[in-house]
């Protein structure tokens, strides 16, 4: 099965993974690459060393234009390159390859602010070809439960002092808030190390810093389904207004009111009997929709049901030969006709265990026998 659903000529989606030292970014990404299912992912990191790839996963680079130490090919078809000097040249080099990646994942250094990196995607050589699919902020739930941002705050301070590119005047808490504010998905990692109650408190503590409609999921060792991590379609580079950096922070609560519903959604799907979120996915057979608009409206409504994170598939629209592709994540639903494609007449619904399947079925269709 291929997970690629790019429209022809579509921009390559890029996912930015942020989070402080030791939060579990590398662990999460390693997991993601292992479960790439043949999707060709390019990974941009500051240091290869961190990734801990074993030799069997690494090949020499086939591209004569790139220095071997800057780019490595992984045997699962993925590529990994380091940001040697600057982010943009690395990106341009990736885009110029004969066989460009299907998805780009960028691991930021723990102290980098995501906002300036997202803005770099508006650069003329990059903007037409790539879009920010989502900013994933990984948090160390164990450290946060103890009232710390990183378990090893001394190491964090040392990392900070050593990095001349950083603005040393802003307190580390501000960086933390900014990483949260820019997130399209927040991962509360290391859930195995904390109690249910502590996890709940951490969740409450960060809630005000997370933008409305952003999901907070918990994980152990960053193990999350690829569909939850990738394909969020946030186009963050065109949506910076609400991802502001620290200084406007106090205004945030005003925005939050109209989205109380969403916030409740996040709040009640955690902390049942397990320390990490379990996910479930269902395949629904959909008869047909009256129009693209009708499909969009129903899928949007289904996305608002408790626990639903993602809906995708290809469905029939009455009177149309071409099937409509459906991609939905968070508050965004995209539909488009894909001439020549087969309509599976099916939608895959992915979400947290216990999602409101009855409501979703009422809106979209029936479970297929295979599900």
Give the shortest CB-19-to-ligand GTP separation in angstroms: 5
Q: How far apart are CA 280 and CA 351, in angstroms?
A: 6
When the beta carbons of 18 and 90 are compared against ligand GTP, the nearer one is: 18
Q: Provide, rounded to whole angstroms, the least separation between the CB of residue 196 and ligand GTP.
A: 15
Binding site residues, ligand GTP, CB under 6 A: 19, 21-27, 50, 110, 189-190, 192-193, 220-222
Least distance to ligand GTP, CB of residue 111, Å: 9
Among residues 26 and 234, whose Cβ is nearest to ligand GTP?
26
Nearer to ligand GTP, 82 or 343 (CB): 82
Pick between residue 26 and residue 335 the one whose CB is nearest to ligand GTP. Answer: 26
Question: Which of residues 222 and 365 has its CB atom nearest to ligand GTP in the complex?
Answer: 222
What's the min distance (Å) between Cβ of 311 and ligand GTP? 28
**98, burial (CB in 10 Å: exposed 0-12, middle 13-18, buried 19+):** exposed
Q: Which of 363, 354, 316, 312 is nearest to 334 (CA)?
A: 312
Matching residue, tokens 């341009």: 92
Distance of CA 152 to the CA centre of its chain: 26
DSSP state of 220: S
Instruction: State how far the Cα of 223 lies from the Cα of 226, in Å rounded to an integer.
Output: 9
CA nearest to 41, candidates 52, 33, 29, 30: 33
Min CB(351)–ligand GTP separation in Å = 21
Question: Between residues 22 and 351, which has the closer beta carbon with respect to ligand GTP?
Answer: 22
Q: How far apart are CA 43 and CA 103, in angstroms?
A: 9
SS3 state of residue 215: strand
Least distance to ligand GTP from the beta carbon of 218, Å?
9
Give DSSP secondary structure letters for 331-364: TEEEEEE-TTPPP--EEEEEEETT--HHHHHHHH
What is the smallest separation between the CB atom of 159 and ligand GTP, expressed in angstroms? 8
Q: Which is nearer to ligand GTP, 131 or 159 (CB)?
A: 159
Q: Are 293 and 178 in contact (CB under 8 A)?
A: no
Between the two ends of the chain, the Cα-to-Cα distance in Å is: 16
- 35 neighbors 226 (Cβ within 8 angstroms): yes
Task: Return the HEC string of 16-51.
Answer: EEECCCCCCHHHHHHHHHHCCCCCCEEEEECCCHHH
Is the Cβ of residue 105 or residue 303 nearer to ligand GTP in the bound state? Answer: 105
Closest approach of Cβ 221 to ligand GTP, in Å? 4
């Amino acid at each position: 099965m291929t997970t690629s659903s790019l429209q022809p000529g579509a921009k390559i989606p890029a996912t930015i993974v942020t989070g402080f030292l030791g939060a579990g970014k590398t662990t999460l990404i390693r997991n993601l690459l292992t479960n790439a299912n043949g999707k060709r992912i390019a990974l941009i990191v500051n240091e290869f060393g961190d990734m801990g790839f074993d030799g069997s996963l690494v090949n020499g680079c086939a591209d004569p234009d790139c220095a071997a130490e800057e780019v490595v090919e992984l045997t699962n078809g993925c590529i990994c390159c380091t940001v040697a000097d600057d982010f943009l040249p690395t990106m341009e080099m990736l885009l110029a390859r004969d066989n460009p990646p299907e998805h780009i994942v960028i691991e930021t250094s723990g102290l980098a602010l995501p906002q300036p990196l997202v803005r770099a995607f508006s650069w003329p050589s990059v903007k037409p070809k790539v879009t920010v699919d989502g900013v994933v902020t990984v948090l160390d739930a164990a450290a946060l439960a103890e009232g710390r941002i990183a378990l090893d705050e001394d190491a964090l301070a040392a990392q900070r002092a050593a990095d001349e590119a950083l603005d040393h005047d802003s307190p580390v808490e501000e960086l933390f808030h900014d990483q949260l504010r820019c997130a399209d998905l927040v991962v509360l990692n290391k859930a195995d190390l904390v109690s249910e109650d502590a996890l709940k408190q951490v969740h409450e503590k960060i809630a005000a810093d997370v933008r409305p409609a952003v999901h907070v999921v918990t994980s152990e060792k960053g193990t999350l389904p690829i569909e939850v991590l990738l394909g969020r379609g946030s186009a963050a580079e065109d949506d910076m207004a609400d991802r502001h950096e620290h200084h406007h922070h106090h205004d945030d609560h005003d925005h939050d009111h109209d989205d109380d519903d969403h916030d409740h959604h996040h709040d009640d799907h955690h902390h049942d009997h397990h320390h990490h979120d379990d996910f479930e996915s269902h395949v629904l057979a959909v008869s047909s929709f009256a129009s693209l608009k009708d499909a969009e409206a129903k899928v949007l409504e289904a996305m608002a049901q408790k626990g639903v994170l993602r809906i995708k598939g290809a469905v029939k629209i009455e009177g149309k030969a071409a099937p409509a592709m459906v991609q939905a994540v968070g508050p965004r639903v995209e539909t488009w006709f894909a001439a020549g494609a087969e309509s599976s007449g099916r939608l895959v619904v992915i979400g947290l265990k216990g999602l409101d399947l009855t409501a979703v079925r009422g809106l979209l269709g029936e479970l297929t026998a295979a599900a």
